[in-house]
Structure 1
């Protein structure tokens, strides 16, 4: 595995794992980061696929930060984040099994 891949995956895991203390949405984000990392370790994910998945994780993290900016995550925001995580989960599965 190249150094760049390792740095990229480690950065994604740190970003998702540090937020994992706050609740179920964050726990799911951390688990998805672990799934991506496992895909890289096993060789099932190419560099391009990994970059796409990490960018998706970053977008979801940004959604969560915007939702929390006012100190409260309303049901509409939570539903949007859950839908984005559902989509990301499907993307991870598809890219690991293609």
Structure 2
């Protein structure tokens, strides 16, 4: 119980004092979620090999861009965050279309 409360306080303090790092984490969590959606589609057969390769390439490119943006100055600018979110949204729509075609 104490560790959960302590972890929560540390997480809140990090989000308050380092909002750019928190936003980078939010983008990372979206990437993880989308990765799970891709693999569920592969598992149930709604995403074929060619679609998987394309999605994986786009996912890797997005991850590389996120890392590059963070590495350049240690945080994401609002413009970088918007650009990454737009790419995440496009990738999400592509995953949906591939799973439902």
Q: Which moved more, 1:22-31 or 1:51-60?
A: 22-31
Higher relative helix content: 2
Match of 1:83 among 74, 78, 86: 86
Inter-partner Cα distance in structure 2 for 1:31 and 1:94: 16
TM-score by length of 2: 0.74
- Give 1 or 2 for the bigger CA radius of gyration: 2
Match of 2:38 among 36, 39, 51: 36
Long gaps (5+) in structure 2? 1-23
**Residues matched between the structures, number:** 77
Inter-partner Cα distance in structure 2 for 1:82 and 1:66: 15
- Residue of structure 2 equivalent to 1:45: 47
TM-score by length of 1: 0.76
Q: What's the CA shift string for 1:21-80, capped at 9, x where partnerless?
A: x62111000000000000000001110000000111001101101110120110000000
Inter-partner Cα distance in structure 1 for 2:99 and 2:43: 11
SS where residue 54 of structure 1 aligns? Answer: helix
- Residue of structure 2 equivalent to 1:72: 75
Structure 1: 4+ residue segments shifted above 3 A:
none
